[in-house]
């Protein structure tokens, strides 16, 4: 039985919201205790590990979500497919650790701190056994949310207990691993609830039947992740750890906000895949349009909000040592909107329809633009040049998707509701600027007031103008209260 999309979305929004809340607590502490160079080194190493992870997962997580969603009502096929994918992922992870060993032996930049690099490489192991794709495929978002919150709370407590100075960089590395993927060990053991060994026949397992379709997704994943992970690596080689640290601060909040604006995609993709499997084309098209409108409802104000509040966010979260990253943070803010739109078109529409090659092509265009601009701009503009390259890449990726799907994409890109979102975001920004200019109080209090007033202005405008989604949500809440 299909689970409520609204319930799944709220649960995933809570899960994503904790990803926003906890870094607001930990990142300021980390920046001040570990420092720019320490943050830069960990992010430099994490970018390299990220590349290895990109190859070891081979596109399996995204491919697996779609496959699990398609067969989730067939218990035996579900057990067989899950086991096959898990074994394939584990085999590829062994190859990944072999690469880690080679890098530790031959790369001088890694030899500066081999123990830290090895600790961060544990991400590969926990990602392999985590089976997060399984729980997304069966839409068990309640478990994902509760488990995520509990593990994050424990991780934050351990961070404050063990990371006390720049000498505790190793403990920070452990936090980076266990705070993000360490909880995956619970996923592995919980599989027994859904999969019985009686449903699995070892002789019937065909592990490598998933290789070809996963490789198609892998090519897409490589294209998407290539320039995102390449940017801090290029900075590390062309500049230094300080440049990487400042760039990391600039993209930190933007990355969190992207997750918040695009979290609907984690809910929609398995549902849309299941709809196509059951020939529900009309419902598929309706949900695509609704997803796009809701994405704009979130992404537009988040984009404007980051641009106007970046000076406060950087200073409060990272400290005065990171103030130089403010312009870069404002430059990359529109990426929140670009990624939100491309997520709807690429991941929610094209991917379930099996048109992953078109998504790869569009992302490839963005990757080429990013690399070219990085080579040109980084030597003279450092991390600011990287930010410009990143924005240009995501913009071209999104625009190319719109161009190639313009004749069959069931989305109205610019209607009355979308205009209201834009006007509301502008009014929100103006109210925030007025507070910044007139209210001369403690920066933390000022920022809190800016957020509260900005959100209030935005929502009130949408309610007054009767924007469809917000008005519909309010009507639903009122009806439920009247029923009670």
What are the distances in angstroms from CA 319 to CA 89, 311, 330, 440? 40, 11, 17, 19
**pLDDT of res. 1:** 41
The predicted pLDDT at position 400 comes to 92
How many whole angstroms separate alpha carbon 328 and alpha carbon 245?
12
pTM of the full predicted structure?
0.71
- Yes or no: say if 420 and 389 are a contact pair by the CB < 8 Å rule: no
pLDDT for residue 370 is more than 50: yes
Measure the CA–CA gap between 239 and 189, rounded to whole angstroms: 44
3 state SS of 99: helix
Distances in Å between the Cα of 455 and the Cα atoms of 308, 428, 452 are 13, 7, 5
434-466 pLDDT per residue, tens: 999 988 888 888 888 999 999 999 999 998 988
Give me the pLDDT at residue 203, please: 77
Using pLDDT thresholds of 50, 70 and 90, give the confidence band for residue 115.
very high
232 in Cβ contact with 247 (< 8 Å): yes
**pLDDT, position 223:** 75
- Selection from 53, 199, 231 nearest residue 128 by Cα: 53
Q: What is the pLDDT of residues 219-274, one digit of tens each?
A: 877 777 667 777 888 887 778 778 888 888 888 778 877 876 666 666 665 666 66
Contact of 116 with 41, CB cutoff 8 Å: yes
Helix H or strand E segment including 171: helix 169-178
**pLDDT at residue 23 tops 80:** no
For 24, 99, 309, 371, 395, the CA distances from 304, given in Å and listed in that order, are: 19, 42, 9, 27, 16
Q: Is the pLDDT of residue 98 over 90?
A: yes
**With the C-alpha atoms ordered 12, 281, 62, 234, is the resulting torsion angle positive or negative?**
negative
The rounded distance, in Å, linking the Cα atoms of 2 and 138 is 9
86 and 133 in contact (C-beta within 8 Å)? no
**What is the rounded distance in angstroms from the CA atom of residue 317 to the CA atom of residue 25?**
8
Mean pLDDT of 309-315: 88
Residue range 322-339: mean pLDDT, rounded: 91
Q: Give the rounded percent of residues in the chain with a pLDDT score beyond 70.
A: 89
Neighbours of 202 (CB within 10 A): 7
Residue 456 is predicted with a pLDDT of 93
Q: Using CA atoms, how far apart are residues 142 and 13, in angstroms rounded to an integer?
A: 11
Whether the predicted pLDDT of 482 surpasses 70: no
pLDDT at 118 over 90: yes
How far is residue 329's CA from residue 310's CA, in Å, rounded to a whole number?
Answer: 7
d(CA 403, CA 440): 47
Asked which of 78-82, 129-133, 274-278, 309-313 is least confident by mean pLDDT, the reply is 274-278
More confident residue, 187 or 283: 187
What is the average pLDDT score of the chain? 83
Q: Which helix (H) or strand (E) holds 386?
A: helix 356-404
Q: Is the pLDDT of residue 33 over 70?
A: yes
CA dihedral 327, 328, 331, 332 (to 10 degrees): -150
225 close to 306: Cβ distance less than 8 angstroms: no
Domain ranges of the chain: 5-196+208-413, 415-484
pLDDT at 475 over 80: no
Q: Is the pLDDT of residue 62 over 50?
A: yes
What is the predicted pLDDT for the residue at 32? Answer: 84
What pLDDT shows up at residue 97? 94
Mean pLDDT of 61-84: 83
Higher-pLDDT residue of 484 and 267 is: 267
Among 64-73, 123-132, 340-349, name the one with the lowest average pLDDT. 64-73
Q: What is the mean pLDDT of residues 153-176?
A: 89
Q: Name the band, by pLDDT with cuts 50, 70 and 90, for residue 217.
A: confident
Helix (H) or strand (E) holding 92: helix 75-106
Residue 483 pLDDT > 60, yes or no?
Answer: no
137 against 480, higher pLDDT: 137
Whether 387 shows a pLDDT value over 60: the answer reads yes
CA distance 1 to 74: 12
> What pLDDT shows up at residue 19?
67
Provide the pLDDT confidence category of residue 63 given band limits of 50, 70 and 90.
confident
């Amino acid at each position: 039985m299909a689970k409520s999309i609204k319930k799944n979305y709220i649960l995933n929004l809570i899960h994503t919201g904790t990803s926003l809340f906890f870094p607001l607590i930990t990142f300021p502490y980390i920046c001040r205790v570990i420092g720019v160079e320490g943050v830069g080194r960990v992010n430099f190493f994490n970018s390299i590990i990220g590349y290895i992870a990109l190859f070891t997962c081979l596109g399996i997580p995204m491919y697996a979500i779609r496959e699990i969603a398609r067969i989730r009502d067939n218990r035996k096929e579900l057990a067989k497919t899950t086991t096959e994918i898990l074994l394939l992922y584990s085999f590829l992870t062994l190859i990944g650790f072999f690469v880690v060993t080679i890098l530790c032996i031959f790369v001088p930049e890694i030899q500066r701190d081999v123990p830290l690099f090895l600790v961060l490489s544990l991400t590969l192991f926990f990602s392999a056994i985590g089976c997060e794709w399984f729980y997304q495929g069966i839409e068990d978002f309640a478990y994902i949310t509760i488990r995520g919150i509990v593990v994050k709370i424990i991780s934050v407590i351990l961070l404050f207990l063990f990371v006390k100075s720049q000498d505790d960089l190793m403990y920070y590395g452990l936090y980076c691993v266990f705070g993000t993927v360490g909880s995956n060990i619970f996923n592995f053991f919980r599989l027994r609830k859904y999969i019985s060994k009686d449903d699995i026949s070892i002789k019937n397992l065909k592990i490598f039947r998933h290789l070809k379709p996963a490789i198609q997704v892998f090519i897409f994943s490589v294209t998407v992740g290539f320039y995102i992970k390449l940017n801090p690596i290029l900075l590390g080689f062309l500049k230094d750890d300080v440049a990487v640290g400042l760039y990391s601060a600039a993209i930190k909040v933007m990355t969190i906000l992207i997750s918040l604006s695009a979290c609907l995609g984690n809910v929609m993709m398995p549902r849309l895949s299941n709809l196509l499997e059951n020939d529900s084309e009309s419902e598929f098209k309706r949900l695509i349009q609704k997803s796009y409108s809701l994405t704009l409802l979130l992404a537009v104000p988040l984009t404007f909000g980051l641009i106007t509040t970046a000076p406060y966010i950087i200073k409060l979260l990272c400290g005065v040592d990171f103030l130089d990253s403010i312009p870069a943070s404002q430059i990359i803010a529109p990426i929140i909107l670009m990624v939100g739109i491309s997520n709807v078109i690429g991941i929610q529409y094209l991917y379930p329809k099996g048109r992953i090659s078109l998504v790869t092509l569009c992302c490839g265009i963005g990757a080429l633009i990013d690399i070219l601009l990085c080579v040109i701009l980084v030597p003279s503009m450092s991390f600011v040049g990287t930010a410009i390259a990143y924005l240009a890449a995501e913009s071209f990726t999104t625009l190319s998707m719109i161009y190639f799907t313009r004749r069959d994409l069931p989305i109205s890109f610019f209607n009355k509701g979308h205009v209201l979102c834009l006007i509301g975001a502008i009014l929100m920004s103006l109210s925030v600027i007025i507070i910044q200019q007139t209210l001369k109080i403690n920066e933390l209090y000022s920022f809190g007031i800016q957020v509260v007033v900005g959100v209030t202005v935005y929502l009130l405008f949408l309610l007054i103008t009767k924007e469809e989604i917000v008005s519909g949500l309010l009507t639903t809440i009122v009806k439920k209260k009247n029923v009670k």
